[in-house]
Structure 1
Amino acid sequence: MTSDAVITTWQQAFEENRVPQIRAIEKNLRARAARNKEKLRNTVGGSYRELLATAEAIVSLQAKAKVAEEHLASISHNCRPPQQDVSPRPPSADKVALAQMRLLQRCCTTSATALRTRDLLQCAQLVVISRLLLKSLGDQQEGLNLASSLELLRNKIAMLRRQLLRQVDSKLVNPVSSRSDLVEALCSYCLVTSVSAEDALSHCRQLRLDKLRRWLSQSADRTIICQALRYQLASLQTFKSVAGRPLTDAMNGLQKRPILDGPALKDLETLDLDRTWPLLPKEIKTFVPYFKRSVSTPDATQAALETWSQEASHLLSGAMDGYLSSVKDMTAVLELRKELYTTLLPSYFSTPAGMDIIQEIRWSLNQRLSGICQAKGLQLTELTRRLVEGVTTSTANKPKLLWDDELVQADLGNTGVSRSGSRFIKQVKNRHAGLNLVLAKASKRMDAWISSANATRDEINQLPKIRWRDIIEEPEEEDDQEDQAAALVRELCETDPESYTKALRESLHEALEDYEKNMIQTASTIINDGEISNPPSDGNINIIQAVTLLRSIRMSLASLHQAFPGESQKLLVSLDNIITDLNRVIANEVARQLSQALQRKRRGATTSGNGNGNSNSSNRPKPKLNTSAPSHLPDGMPSPTAFSTLRTLCKIMLDLGGTDLWSPPAAMMVKDAVRHQIFETDDAGKTKSLYTVTEFDEAYLGAALSDNTNKAPNQVEADSKAMDTKTSQKAAAVDYWTRTKLLFGLLA
């Protein structure tokens, strides 16, 4: 084995060396271990001896120091001064008064600072101490020249007290004040006014009620009403959280130690109590505030909160009534309803007198919503009155012709093509429907009213879809409050919408009855006046009114049938008879005007045949009226007289009723009236010559005035083949009418 070889394990030694070498290695290792042990023993022994010597030196020094201290103590004892009398002596009255005056001035300054920093409780404590100092100095002012200074400080303290009370009131009525701030403000109020906790709470409730009253009396709009409700609910929750233990514990904490001994004032550097404390009277240093004790049970507290809530609810209800009385829009009221309920229901069960609040709100809302529903019917009554006025003033407001100069020459480029074009189309529609200015406005109002009524009905139908159960506060008592929640949701989702629907339905029912009554009464008056003035004169006002009334009924009845199919079908049945009577009156007038027009034409032809202004004209023979068939007419063709009769009839119908009035029943009544006047009157033989010349004319007019306007051509041909007498002539007349009826549009 070499000297520089390193053996790490015994396996390595046996693997690399022989047994003699291994024995030599073992011997060397044992010798080395022995040397190391001896060296370690020598080193430890020397260190231990040095440590013992150090300890002995420390003990010796400690003994010497003790002897020196005893020697110094004896010297100090021998050098002390002689004993003196150190018993306390009472301070002089001047020093006591000056100390109190100094503390009073510092209390005034510190109180003003506390007011600026909104530290109400500290300011209240300083005001209490200041009043004690004023009383003490007032008793000691004899012999001291402090009267003017005390009066000045007394006024300053009174002013600080008023400012403090104003800040306390402001804190009490602030809806965002925390519970700790309110408790501090109430304690400050009790300190300054020496009232009980219950009196302070009553003062707080009165302040908040007065604030509600001021809010709602100044401007009661939707925003103010919702804010007032939120303020009322927040106040009730605040009263619940403050009343009882929190306020009692805070006031008891003020009575645990004297005011000046508390940390709030004792550590104030501005008071400098370290210098004035020994000179202060004992009654000031040990003053503990006293509060009037009043025991209030939970039931009494709950009753007080419910009373306050009822008073606030009355104020809110009155403001809502005043605001809702000016609201005519159903949507605005329903939005207010949703906002109020959404505000109240999340805290319904935890709010004292929550049921009273919601009942007050619900009553006001239901009253107004029912009133709006009833007003919908009154609006129809007002529209009916305007329609009747339009009938009575129809002679002064005649409908304009469809294509007169004003409409044809209308400029569509003044205010934009789309706007002018829509106005042009509207004018064309109104003139085509025969509506004068009054009826056009009434039609517009009727459409607006129907849209409003339908919108109101749709909004009421949407109310049950609001999920109030998801909004209402979860009940704590499973049985009683769960039933209350279910009943409340049922009232809001079922009872209230049903009452609104019932009010709207009853209002519409009464309005439709009034509409029918007024229309029947007006029509009866027109018909009776027409019968009394029979035979009526040309241009009879009653006929114009009858036409206008018929248009009014047609316009309004169509809208009402479309908007309220159920109610109108049940209530407006009697108007069908009135429409028939009016159509009959108009048909008789058409027949009368036709007869007069043909008579005037006959007289005009006779006058022109006689001549004018010639002296020899009297000697000329009068021409005979051609009552036979003109020789130039082919067979199977009506004479110009018959053709002119139908043209005149169409012109009279167009002038009297326009193109809108002649429904198939109305046109059939005209045909019946004219046919009766031509063929069925007592003097038909005398007047027939006004209408016809030939027998073919009679057949032609008979075909034109018969009830075959809705028949197909093949059906007319089949009917014509079934005639008994003069079959060929009548068939030819019917066939000719079938081919020419489109020339007479109102009769076709």
Structure 2
Amino acid sequence: MTAPGPDASQLTKWEDAFQHPIPAVRALERQLQTELAANKEKLRGLVGFSYRDLLRTAERIVEMDRDAQQVESCLAETSRTCSSRLLERKARNLRMFEERVGAEDREKYVFAAQLAVLGSCPSVVSRLLQRDENGENCLLATKVFVVLRLLLKSLLLKGPSVPLLESLKHQRTTLTAHLTTHIDHHLSTPTAPHLTTVLTSYSLLKTSPPSDVLRHFLHIRSSAISTLLHTAERTPNAALAAMALYNHTLAHADAHFPKRLSDALILLKSRPLFADPALAPELGLDTHAPWLPDELAGFVPWVRHDDLERARVAELAGAWAVRELLLLNEGVERTLAGMGDLAEVMGLRVELLGLWAAGERARRPFAGRDGLEEGRQRERLREMVGARVAEVVRGKSEKLVEVGERIREELEGVGALEDSTSLWDPVLLTIPLTSGGALFKESVQSRVHGKDSAIKSFRATYDAFLADIAATTAILHSLRSSPSQTTTTGTGTDDADDDFEAEEQRAQEALEDSLIAETELRTALDAAYRALEAALDRLVDSATTTSPTSSTTTSTSTTTATRRTTFLLRTIRQIRQHPTPQLPLPWFCSAQLPRLHTAVAAHVGRGPLDTVATLLRRRRWSGVLASRALWEGAPALPVQPSPLVFKFLLDLVQAMHVAGDDVWTPAAVRGVKVLACQELWGAVEGVVVGREVADVGVGGEGGKEEKEGEGGEEAGGGEKTLGGEGHVDGDEGEKAEEKKVVGEEATNEDARVIGRDWAVQLLFDALYLDEALQRKGANARNSGILSLAGKIEATLGFDEELRRRLEGCAREYWKRTCLLFGLLS
């Protein structure tokens, strides 16, 4: 293994290098040459970088040497040409001259200098205050005012008063008030950038220690907050500005007292007032300062700066915070009381809670006092806003009273309105079909659903109410996603965690307040709809108290009563079909609807029922049945109802159409059917019960009866006049019958006997009416008509086959004719 070469750093003299073998010596040589070359390059680089600096330094040294030589030559020439003893003698003579010659005029010069400085002070103070927008020049203006006060006092004490001094005394009073107002204005500004300067100005002006300055500062801020809260408008912005000023006041009290203000006062007392560099150009002190007396030139403002400690600041500011917080809450309550827009109330809530959260750090040094707990005041703000929100939503719900008033107003005039629900009104032909026939479609839909002018007027008011409630609901729901208004920021991890927790708390509070407000809205809506139901109940009572009777009711009054009843039915239906999203209304007017259905059924069915009752009483039951020839089968049985029954159903359906097709819900139709069954049963029972069934012949006495029947209602000619299946005009037949029958009294035999054919026909009519009026009803088995049919059937002695055959004929004929009576089928 080859031994390592020698290390050049270990060699002490050159002879030691040659003690090694020749290859090692050569390697050592190459190593030394390499290191030498590297060091040479490094040195060359260093010299190259600093060469220019060395040249500039050398040039500067040469210039300095040349300048020094010139100075030395000038000094040598000056000392050679000037005599120091001569200069000292001239200076001594000058002082002697001034003492002997100028002593008499010095007092005049001093007085003139003071008066000149004093005369310029008012204008300087006014100019500085006019230009002072942010409080930067406030301290300088105060210093000038102190100079004015000092010089004026000095001049007034030394000699008699002159008019100029009297004028300056009045100006001093005015400037005092002006300067005090100016300082108070800046103290009341929330974001004063030079607040320390303004506080120092007040301390200098009033010679007040920091404790008095703090009291005055809190008093000014209290007055500013009261001014904001007691404005005539009481706008939300004023309440927000008051809370922001409250937060800023506590932040300023914590930041400026006592450290900053004490430092500023110490700096103010660190030098004489007239030595302030800022005063010299304003008052011309460069010219007048040498003539000022020493006691004035050396004046130093004396203001105590060490009478306020941190604990005292916390005590004074904390007590102020508690008092102002009570006033602030009262002002917020008054502001909320004057707000009726729910969106503004909710916006104010977000702003208030955001401002309160933003001022948490400012209130933290004073949070130990009673009344300044963060959570307690936050709950108080939420309670105030929540109470006002509840009042607003109750007020919006109470607007449903306007809907009730609109219904009452329209109900009074609904009888005078023309019928606008007919689909065959020629007015529809005049409606243009432009824009896809939208107007025509709307008119048809309005007529189908009974939306006349009264209903449209009611719907306009009700739709406005629904829109208002929908907007209110959207505002309450949007509270859950309201953005945070907190302006506090943090840079540390703890601050980030606190902000995150505070954000979660605010989201939870917003959710709770929203749910509470929505619950209050539902409660208020329920109460409002209950009140509307009570109002409608009174209207229903007034519309249904007078039942129509044949003897006391005219056609006009019946029409008016029908329209009033149908109007109430339509309004209640509209309200039930269009409830608010918060409150379903299956219960609304559920007790009034059956009464209205009964009333409209009574109004609609009264005319046809009176007619059929009259005709039944005037019918000749002992005569020959003219429609006997149309019977079919063996034995022959009727296959179609009598014209009287057919006409009754047609008149009833026509009256229902006139009232409005949209009115006839299943409940209303059941009411009509029940009423018709009861009235028909009573009418037929009063005429037929107690008669004996007898066969009526064709010749002899039968011919006489047939002849008499021809003058009757339904027999002979009367039956033919009605036109077989009842297709002849009912009014003309009725008039003819009245002319023939009026004044004619039935014979004793006619009052005791009913023809067998009439009885069979009456049985078929009863079965047919049962198909039309009761078969689909809930009380079909308890039908009065069906019980009447059973009695007739028993009297006639029908067997089971004939009964079934007759029922089948009645059912089949109803199937063929039910479409003629669509509302009943």
TM-score by length of 2: 0.66
Residue among 626, 629, 632 paired with 2:627: 629
Per the TM alignment, residue 260 of structure 1 is displaced from its structure 2 partner at its CA by 0.9
Q: Quote the Cα distance in structure 2 between the aligned partners of 1:471 and 1:421.
A: 57
Per the TM alignment, residue 250 of structure 1 is displaced from its structure 2 partner at its CA by 0.6
The alpha-carbon distance between structure 1 residues 347 and 737, as it changes in their structure 2 partners (threshold 3 A), is same
* SS of aligned partner of 1:155: helix
Q: Quote the Cα distance in structure 2 between the aligned partners of 1:332 and 1:431.
A: 42
Residue among 682, 686, 692 paired with 1:683: 686
Residue 456 (structure 2) aligns with: 440
> Residues 315-464 of structure 1 correspond to what in structure 2 (within 5 A)?
317=329, 320-351=332-363, 353=372, 355=374, 358-359=378-379, 361-388=381-408, 390-391=410-411, 394-396=414-416, 400-403=420-423, 407-408=427-428, 412=432, 428-435=444-451, 437-464=453-480
Is 1:731 aligned with 2:748?
no
CA deviation string 1:586-633 (max 9, x = no partner):
334433221234468899x99xxxxxxxxxxxxxxx9x9985316478
- The size of the alignment, in residue pairs, is 638
Q: Quote the Cα distance in structure 2 between the aligned partners of 1:348 and 1:663.
A: 64
Q: Contact 2:140–2:278 at 8 Å: present in 1 too? A: yes
Q: Contact 1:122–1:264 at 8 Å: present in 2 too? A: yes
CA deviation string 1:208-247 (max 9, x = no partner):
4444444451433344444444444334433432232111
Per the TM alignment, residue 534 of structure 1 is displaced from its structure 2 partner at its CA by 9.4
Residue 555 (structure 1) aligns with: 574
Letter matched to residue 520 of structure 2 = A
Q: Quote the Cα distance in structure 1 between the aligned partners of 2:159 and 2:505.
A: 71
Q: Contact 1:400–1:436 at 8 Å: present in 2 too? A: yes
Residue 716 (structure 1) aligns with: none
Is 1:501 aligned with 2:515?
no
Q: Quote the Cα distance in structure 2 between the aligned partners of 1:252 and 1:244.
A: 12
Q: Contact 1:450–1:563 at 8 Å: present in 2 too? A: no
Residue 547 (structure 2) aligns with: 530
Q: What residue ranges of structure 2 are gaps of 5+ in the alignment?
A: 1-68, 365-371, 633-637, 692-712, 715-721, 727-757, 779-798
Letter matched to residue 434 of structure 1 = G
Per the TM alignment, residue 370 of structure 1 is displaced from its structure 2 partner at its CA by 0.8
Residue 612 (structure 1) aligns with: none
Q: Quote the Cα distance in structure 2 between the aligned partners of 1:393 and 1:285.
A: 97
Q: Contact 2:350–2:484 at 8 Å: present in 1 too? A: no
The alpha-carbon distance between structure 1 residues 460 and 203, as it changes in their structure 2 partners (threshold 3 A), is same
Residue 190 (structure 2) aligns with: 175
Per the TM alignment, residue 305 of structure 1 is displaced from its structure 2 partner at its CA by 3.6
The alpha-carbon distance between structure 1 residues 335 and 490, as it changes in their structure 2 partners (threshold 3 A), is closer
Q: Contact 1:175–1:231 at 8 Å: present in 2 too? A: yes
Residue 233 (structure 1) aligns with: 247
Q: Contact 1:108–1:156 at 8 Å: present in 2 too? A: yes
Residue 202 (structure 1) aligns with: 215
Q: Contact 1:349–1:473 at 8 Å: present in 2 too? A: no
Deviates more, 1:276-285 or 1:304-313: 304-313
Per the TM alignment, residue 422 of structure 1 is displaced from its structure 2 partner at its CA by 6.1
Is 1:185 aligned with 2:211?
no
Residue among 660, 671, 674 paired with 1:672: 674
Q: Contact 1:704–1:737 at 8 Å: present in 2 too? A: yes
Q: Contact 2:653–2:824 at 8 Å: present in 1 too? A: yes
The alpha-carbon distance between structure 1 residues 382 and 296, as it changes in their structure 2 partners (threshold 3 A), is farther
CA deviation string 1:78-109 (max 9, x = no partner):
99859958699677433332232233234445
Residue 262 (structure 2) aligns with: 248
Residue 513 (structure 1) aligns with: 530
Per the TM alignment, residue 647 of structure 1 is displaced from its structure 2 partner at its CA by 1.3
Residue 128 (structure 1) aligns with: 146
Q: Quote the Cα distance in structure 2 between the aligned partners of 1:79 and 1:637.
A: 159
CA deviation string 1:681-705 (max 9, x = no partner):
5315389979998454443333222
* SS of aligned partner of 2:278: helix
Letter matched to residue 654 of structure 1 = H
Q: Quote the Cα distance in structure 1 between the aligned partners of 2:86 and 2:562.
A: 147
Q: Quote the Cα distance in structure 2 between the aligned partners of 1:637 and 1:684.
A: 22
Residue 165 (structure 1) aligns with: 180
Q: Contact 1:677–1:684 at 8 Å: present in 2 too? A: no
Residue 148 (structure 1) aligns with: 163
TM-score by length of 1: 0.72
Deviates more, 1:296-305 or 1:485-494: 485-494
Per the TM alignment, residue 375 of structure 1 is displaced from its structure 2 partner at its CA by 2.4
Q: Quote the Cα distance in structure 1 between the aligned partners of 2:215 and 2:771.
A: 97
Letter matched to residue 174 of structure 1 = T
Letter matched to residue 428 of structure 2 = V
Residue 11 (structure 2) aligns with: none
Q: Contact 2:526–2:583 at 8 Å: present in 1 too? A: no
Q: Quote the Cα distance in structure 1 between the aligned partners of 2:687 and 2:478.
A: 66
Q: What residue ranges of structure 1 are gaps of 5+ in the alignment?
A: 1-60, 607-621, 711-721
Q: Quote the Cα distance in structure 2 between the aligned partners of 1:548 and 1:723.
A: 49
* SS of aligned partner of 2:201: helix
* SS of aligned partner of 2:415: coil
The alpha-carbon distance between structure 1 residues 730 and 156, as it changes in their structure 2 partners (threshold 3 A), is same
Q: Quote the Cα distance in structure 2 between the aligned partners of 1:125 and 1:264.
A: 10
Letter matched to residue 187 of structure 1 = T
> Residues 63-78 of structure 1 correspond to what in structure 2 (within 5 A)?
none
CA deviation string 1:413-451 (max 9, x = no partner):
9xxx66x97666555544433355444333333333334
Residue 772 (structure 2) aligns with: 704
Q: Quote the Cα distance in structure 1 between the aligned partners of 2:256 and 2:612.
A: 100
* SS of aligned partner of 1:560: coil
Q: Quote the Cα distance in structure 1 between the aligned partners of 2:546 and 2:681.
A: 28
The alpha-carbon distance between structure 1 residues 124 and 135, as it changes in their structure 2 partners (threshold 3 A), is same
The alpha-carbon distance between structure 1 residues 236 and 79, as it changes in their structure 2 partners (threshold 3 A), is closer
CA deviation string 1:459-488 (max 9, x = no partner):
43443444759877679999x989994895
Residue 600 (structure 2) aligns with: 586
Is 1:281 aligned with 2:281?
no
Is 1:650 aligned with 2:650?
no
Residue 138 (structure 1) aligns with: 156
Letter matched to residue 190 of structure 2 = P
The alpha-carbon distance between structure 1 residues 547 and 103, as it changes in their structure 2 partners (threshold 3 A), is closer
Per the TM alignment, residue 274 of structure 1 is displaced from its structure 2 partner at its CA by 4.5
The alpha-carbon distance between structure 1 residues 133 and 211, as it changes in their structure 2 partners (threshold 3 A), is same
